[in-house]
Structure 1
Amino acid sequence: MALPLTLASAAATATTDARLQAVMQRLEAGEAITLAAIGGSITTGYAAQPPREQGWAALLARSLGPKVKLVNAGVSGTDSAAGVQRLQAQVLDKAPDLVVVEFGVNDQWLDPAVRGSSYEAILRRLLGAKKPPAVVVLGLTQQGNQARDAVDVQLHLAARYGLTALDFGRWMQARVDAGQDRWAAIYDAEPVHPNGSGHQRIAQALGETLRAAARGPAVATPLPEPLFGRAHEFTRMLAGDTLKPYQQRGFERGGEAHPEWTGQLPGWVSTADGAEAHFLVWGREVAVFHAESEHYRNLEAWVDDGPVVTLRGQVPERTGYLGWHYTVVGRDLEPGAHLLHVRVKRDEWAGSGRPASLLAVMSAGIFPPELHPSDFVRAPLSAATGLIPADDPRLRWTGRIGTAPGARLMAWSGSEMRARFTGDRLALRLAPARGGINHFTVEVDGRRHALALRGDGPAEWRLPLKTGTHELRLVKRTEASQAEALFLGLRLAEGGQLLDPPPARALKFEFYGDSITAGACNGDIGEDQYADLSTHDGTRAYGALTAARLGADYVGIAVSGIGITATWDQLLMPQVWNRFAPRLDAAVAPPDPRAPDVVLLNLGQNDHGFPASKGQAIAADFGARYLAFVRQLRARYPQARLVLLMGGMSAPQEQPAIPHAVQRTVQTLRGEGDAKVWSYRFQAFAWAHPRIDVHAQMADELTAFLRAEVLK
């Protein structure tokens, strides 16, 4: 028996969005529409027989008439975090007129810190589509109208976006309270999946809600500001052939793919106790989509050098049922590229021979440049007293740092300021000096924050902190040829104190090179590009990584496109190598009072690449000019160990003159009695600019070489 309309609509929203009313009017006029349903196993029709024909989505489509085409995008075991990853291919590409969104039950098990953002992103992507469909929120709970945490968030979002919503738990409870129904009648052996009768009730309630909406007052609601942020509007999934580890041991292609996920391919699986795999990923949030059942083992994973998270694959309560789970491994990450590390967890299941499996890596927060979030607030210069000047001796500077009136020039990528202070906030006074946007990494107590220095003139960039003692690193990411900046000082909270600086690191390395050493394009997705320099990060380049691993201060003198005999721009390295910035009007820097322990040179890619792009050969005197430049380095650093590097890109493989010149230089210097010179050729390389995964492999190689041959 149908519930009276007044009682049924009490569980639905009181107004109708104009899109839904228009769709219902088209349907009543006999026009054809496409209805899409996206959700988990309840949307697939699980527990109805047969599911796809007797589930609520199919029943609803039939009840609305023969002109309704159904797209059932239900996938068992998926929540809104996985749903937003498949929304485009499985829903939006079908050009639906009406979409019903159901994730109330599965989102109850989703990380509470994720489910608001991921569910809201589904709504925003539907409503922001080129042809926005009408959207209805279906709030399902388990038997007895519990638990409601996820559903209440979803209903709140529906109201915020002016959408019609059905609170099925409330609808059903009203029937129970009226003596017209029983919860036990719509569930069988377990309280999660409604039986066939339950699916009939859901379809009935939705049908009543839609028909009531056709007669209700229509409201056109503009897209509001997001309540939970926009990270899950910008996602990327690595699965199948795109889920390729840059290093792995003990894993193999395989594992069970999701049978309901159209086009889903096997991921990676292992039964080996010591298996591990490493992936290049992007985004502010990185999650692993993995299998779970009573027969699987646990994995553990971490992003960059973040905390280790257990991926629970061994789930005894999944008896007889293979499930899937979205486990967040890294959140609130610095925007850009990251390294995801996964290994089989050594626990009580070690040696069991059971498999551990991951199916996909899902990332969120891959923002376009204009939406890059920042933890900093830009404020005009404060006239208050208490500004700590740039030349305060309690600030420790590393790198080739220039001077200007009342400021320090930060040109070269890797230029670093370190400090210790107390208080609950920090303000950095900075000004752009030349070029485009300057990108910095501001690390406070080990947590990295991205700072993009935009606009004209100086400003103060404020960061709130917890009260206490803090350690600060301000590191320039953007290479010197693209942008320069001035550091004008810092301001602490009232009562905050600048303390003695952190100690200098035990070693000092100085790198000279081109775009490879500068980290150009190392965070790019797809093709190399120079339009958005936020993805170019000198702090994630192989030289900076090697220095960090060996406890060394890092100085990076690197320019994209530069060489010794050829350049893509105007200047050659011998013209700018000893200056405060890569321009002829920059002053020559005096030797640092603390000489580097190791000087490393990696040039030759552009000496080959630029003439090759014009069909020409490398300069005939490349070897002689390479040797002459190395002699200049030796003259500046008479006691340093010199390491002549080759590679990271393809030039040493394509042009024999490069390794020949490097080897001949080493032989010549050693023949003259210089015993502190070595060469090393990288095995890791990329045909385009290396991304951070290749840089990590290069750092692995170089760290091992320096330890074994140079620093012993």
Structure 2
Amino acid sequence: MLPALGHADARLQAVMQRLDAGEPITLATIGGSITTGYASQPPSERGWAALLTKSLGPRVRLVNAGVSGTDSAAGVQRLQAQVLDKSPDLVIVEFGVNDQWLDPAVRGSSYEAILRRLLGAKKPPAVVVLGLTQQGNQARDAVDAQLQLAARYGLTALDFGRWMQTRVEAGEDRWAALYHEPVHPNDTGHRRIALALADTLRAAAGGPAAAPAPLPEPVYGSAHEFTRLLMGDTLKPYQQHGFARGGEVHPEWPGQQPGWVTTADDAEAHFLVHGSEIAVFHAESEHYRNLEAWVDDGAVVTLRGQVPERRGYLGWHYSVVGRDLEPTAHLLHIRVKRDEWTGSGRPASLLAIMSAGIVPPALRPSDFVAEALPGRPVPLDAPELRWIGRIGTAAGGRLLAWSGSELRARFSGTQLGLSFASTHWGTSHFSVEIDGRRHWLAAPGNASSDWRLREPLPPGEHSLRLIKRTEGSMAETVLTGLRLAEGGRLLAPPPARPLKLEFYGDSITAGACNGDIADDQYEDLYFHDGTRAYGAVTAERLGADYVGIAVSGIGITASWHELLMPDVWDRFAPRKDAAVAPPDARTPDVVLLNLGQNDHGFPASKGQAIATDFGARYLAFVRQLRARYPQARLVLLMGGMSAPQEQPAIPHAVQAAVQALRAEGDARVWLYRFQAFAWAHPRIDVHAQMADELTRFLKDEVLK
């Protein structure tokens, strides 16, 4: 007896009509080990997918994308290559058993994403949901959610557990006949699944049809519709020691290449990743060791490789390391866990990194609502507010031009509101850090905007950091208002940091393109984050205030636009008409200069040489910095991109400048050349390495 089917979708009816007419169709199945035919002998002939294909007739071609041990979170990562690229007419989705073991916070989103990507394909196939449970129709948490999604999307579904239970209650069958162990059906079980599916398809073909409807809004969000898989040659750590290429690969995953394996107790590896959810796909068995992983500076998660229940065979697991992250670039850190297996010589391994939530701009989540918080704004000249960076004044508020411009405060209350005004075309992206949690906010260009924190804060005291991420040449914004909930008030300001660093540079120092996934781009400045550039990271590591005066494309003798650094270095914004900023009341302890990339790169793009007077003009600019900051330590930097390697005039000029100042008795000047660099703009992994180098150098040579 079949469960009630409701209306069949028109796509499925069309496929069945084509089949009845003798036309060829391609059937794809995607799922775990039950879909591969595991426990039937031989699986390729007696598994349910093969049996169903045979029952549908000789004009059906089967594409079996079953991969043992995988759930829908791994399935959505392989959906394009293993299913959609095969142009199927009909797809049967089976993850009811394996999703029962998948993190409940993941499985709804990942399974729904498979359905949405299938139905949203350029040529959508008919989709059937196969709900399998373990022996005895338990457990049902995952499969019940999948069947609810099938109904929401108007799809035909087979609840095999209930189909089978109806037969058992009627005395027509026994659960024990279908299984030799609780999870995997035997030959008889596979025959029953194929029979139930064949009956379901035939019943759907003859029932009333419902035309395909537009995709409804997702129940579980859109993160897993936008995924990225790092595997094989793309799984490259930016730093590692103790790991080597190798380890077990999944024998059923076509084209899979070895990941990274180690037997060293101190092995670690670090990867550049993207998305709002980061997971590691790794092997587990009784013979493996555990790993630990974390994203950025988040919580450490154990990746269980040592699983005693996996006796005699490998399993595979999707372990979430970071979730609910800002959907941008992140750093994933992995190391061998120090536990009872230390010194055992057993291997630890990772096979792939799987990311979700690399969403387009329209779907980026925001913790702020575009509406004003009621109440009067806090005066922006209040003594409880601490401003860091080169902050200008403007009509109605404070001008935030340079990336890294920051407001720090402490307050009480349960709400926060911010207001901005911009006369510049570019969108300004901000990090709004409340009690250490980072939120993202975008203030549109050429507009005024009001924002209210979406969720109320708990009562009590809170800390605030508002930091501009977007560089000044791309967007300027005026902060016109800071509002607190009624009854809220400003508290004593956060204590001053004991050290202040001030950086002058170009796109490298500005963090341009440092979150871009593929090629450098300037269309979506969300991915350009000055707070994650090497200078800002170095300042954070040293507990220092950061001031960043940096412009993409700028140089001392040549630029990709009309500005040269000597034109704007002392102004409140990178414009010739911007006011000159007086020296800060608090002199920076260290001033750092990193220029030269564009002095070489721009003329080189036209087949020309660097300016013959580059050295003289570089020295003249260094003297300007020294005149403004006579007591500061001065560090002249080179690198981050390729110019110092390609153009000898740059290191020569920097070295000559240091020698000239020291010859004049200036002992507070240093030179440092970065080892880390990138041919394109450095991403946050290279910036992290640059910050490692610079932090060590400042501690060992400059600040001692």
TM range (shorter): over 0.9
Structure 2 counterpart of 1:238: 230
* Whole-angstrom CA distance in 2 between matches of 1:466 and 1:482: 32
SS at match of 2:351: strand
Structure 1 counterpart of 2:44: 52
Contact 1:61–1:70 (Cα < 8 Å) also in 2: yes
Structure 1 range deviating more: 501-510 or 355-364: 501-510
SS at match of 1:327: strand
**What does the per-residue CA deviation read over 1:640-694, in whole Å, with 9 as the maximum and x for residues that have no partner?**
0000000000111111111111111111101111110000000000111101000
Structure 2 counterpart of 1:194: 185
Structure 2 counterpart of 1:4: none
In the TM superposition, residue 385 of structure 1 has moved relative to its aligned partner by 3.0
Matched, 1:454 2:454: no
* Whole-angstrom CA distance in 1 between matches of 2:438 and 2:208: 50
User: 2:419 pairs with 408, 412, 429, which one?
Assistant: 429
Matched, 1:208 2:199: yes
Structure 1 counterpart of 2:545: 553
* Whole-angstrom CA distance in 2 between matches of 1:530 and 1:514: 15
User: 1:391 pairs with 370, 374, 381, which one?
Assistant: 381
**Which amino acid is 1:197 matched to?**
T
Structure 1 counterpart of 2:263: 271
Matched, 1:294 2:286: yes
Matched, 1:34 2:26: yes
Structure 1 counterpart of 2:400: 410
In the TM superposition, residue 529 of structure 1 has moved relative to its aligned partner by 0.8
**What does the per-residue CA deviation read over 1:183-223, in whole Å, with 9 as the maximum and x for residues that have no partner?**
111000x2010111000111111111110001111112321
**Which amino acid is 1:212 matched to?**
A
SS at match of 2:326: coil
SS at match of 1:661: helix
SS at match of 1:586: coil
Matched, 1:543 2:500: no
**Which amino acid is 1:443 matched to?**
E
- 1:296-375 matches, within 5 Å, as 296-375=288-367
**Which amino acid is 2:65 matched to?**
A
**What does the per-residue CA deviation read over 1:512-531, in whole Å, with 9 as the maximum and x for residues that have no partner?**
00000000011111211111
Structure 1 counterpart of 2:131: 139
User: 2:247 pairs with 255, 280, 287, which one?
Assistant: 255
Q: CA RMSD in A?
A: 1.0
* Whole-angstrom CA distance in 2 between matches of 1:35 and 1:180: 30
User: 2:672 pairs with 662, 680, 689, which one?
Assistant: 680
* Whole-angstrom CA distance in 1 between matches of 2:437 and 2:309: 37
User: 1:8 pairs with 2, 18, 22, which one?
Assistant: 2
* Whole-angstrom CA distance in 1 between matches of 2:457 and 2:130: 40
* Whole-angstrom CA distance in 1 between matches of 2:409 and 2:136: 57
Structure 1 counterpart of 2:593: 601
Q: Which 4+ residue blocks in structure 1 deviate beyond 3 angstroms?
A: none
Matched, 1:622 2:614: yes
Structure 1 range deviating more: 358-367 or 485-494: 485-494
Structure 2 gap segments, 5+ residues each: none
**What does the per-residue CA deviation read over 1:44-63, in whole Å, with 9 as the maximum and x for residues that have no partner?**
00000001111000111111
**Which amino acid is 2:442 matched to?**
A
**What does the per-residue CA deviation read over 1:84-142, in whole Å, with 9 as the maximum and x for residues that have no partner?**
00000000000000000000000011110000000000000000000000000001111
Contact 1:402–1:409 (Cα < 8 Å) also in 2: yes
**Which amino acid is 2:535 matched to?**
G
User: 1:467 pairs with 439, 458, 475, which one?
Assistant: 458
- 1:446-595 matches, within 5 Å, as 446-454=436-444, 456-463=446-453, 464-468=455-459, 469-595=461-587
* Whole-angstrom CA distance in 1 between matches of 2:134 and 2:435: 43
Contact 1:429–1:487 (Cα < 8 Å) also in 2: yes
* Whole-angstrom CA distance in 2 between matches of 1:264 and 1:450: 36
In the TM superposition, residue 246 of structure 1 has moved relative to its aligned partner by 0.5
**Which amino acid is 2:40 matched to?**
A
* Whole-angstrom CA distance in 1 between matches of 2:417 and 2:49: 55
In the TM superposition, residue 260 of structure 1 has moved relative to its aligned partner by 0.2
Structure 1 range deviating more: 152-161 or 496-505: 496-505
Contact 1:422–1:467 (Cα < 8 Å) also in 2: no
* Whole-angstrom CA distance in 1 between matches of 2:36 and 2:413: 54
SS at match of 1:434: coil
Report percent identity of matched pairs: 80
* Whole-angstrom CA distance in 1 between matches of 2:163 and 2:445: 54
**What does the per-residue CA deviation read over 1:327-350, in whole Å, with 9 as the maximum and x for residues that have no partner?**
000111112111000000000010
SS at match of 1:227: coil
* Whole-angstrom CA distance in 2 between matches of 1:109 and 1:299: 20
In the TM superposition, residue 406 of structure 1 has moved relative to its aligned partner by 2.4
In the superposition, the TM-score normalised over structure 2's length comes to 0.98
* Whole-angstrom CA distance in 2 between matches of 1:253 and 1:438: 42
In the TM superposition, residue 389 of structure 1 has moved relative to its aligned partner by 2.7
Structure 1 range deviating more: 421-430 or 191-200: 421-430
SS at match of 1:483: coil
In the TM superposition, residue 460 of structure 1 has moved relative to its aligned partner by 1.7
In the TM superposition, residue 466 of structure 1 has moved relative to its aligned partner by 3.2
> May I ask how many residue pairs the two structures share in their alignment?
701
SS at match of 2:685: helix
In the TM superposition, residue 451 of structure 1 has moved relative to its aligned partner by 1.1
Structure 1 range deviating more: 416-425 or 118-127: 416-425
* Whole-angstrom CA distance in 2 between matches of 1:234 and 1:571: 39
SS at match of 1:200: helix
In the TM superposition, residue 266 of structure 1 has moved relative to its aligned partner by 0.5
SS at match of 2:458: strand
**Which amino acid is 2:185 matched to?**
P
User: 2:209 pairs with 195, 218, 243, which one?
Assistant: 218
* Whole-angstrom CA distance in 1 between matches of 2:665 and 2:647: 29
* Whole-angstrom CA distance in 1 between matches of 2:336 and 2:198: 48
SS at match of 1:60: helix
In the TM superposition, residue 456 of structure 1 has moved relative to its aligned partner by 4.5
**Which amino acid is 1:401 matched to?**
I
* Whole-angstrom CA distance in 2 between matches of 1:451 and 1:264: 39
SS at match of 2:450: strand
SS at match of 1:659: helix
* Whole-angstrom CA distance in 1 between matches of 2:520 and 2:228: 18
**Which amino acid is 1:673 matched to?**
G
Structure 1 range deviating more: 125-134 or 431-440: 431-440
In the TM superposition, residue 244 of structure 1 has moved relative to its aligned partner by 0.4
In the TM superposition, residue 301 of structure 1 has moved relative to its aligned partner by 0.2
SS at match of 2:412: strand
Structure 1 counterpart of 2:14: 22
* Whole-angstrom CA distance in 2 between matches of 1:431 and 1:326: 45
In the TM superposition, residue 455 of structure 1 has moved relative to its aligned partner by 5.7
**What does the per-residue CA deviation read over 1:502-556, in whole Å, with 9 as the maximum and x for residues that have no partner?**
1111100000000000000111112111111111110110000000000100000
- 1:30-109 matches, within 5 Å, as 30-109=22-101
* Whole-angstrom CA distance in 1 between matches of 2:423 and 2:690: 32
In the TM superposition, residue 495 of structure 1 has moved relative to its aligned partner by 2.3
**Which amino acid is 1:203 matched to?**
A
* Whole-angstrom CA distance in 2 between matches of 1:465 and 1:317: 45
SS at match of 1:435: coil
Contact 1:391–1:407 (Cα < 8 Å) also in 2: no
* Whole-angstrom CA distance in 2 between matches of 1:455 and 1:536: 16
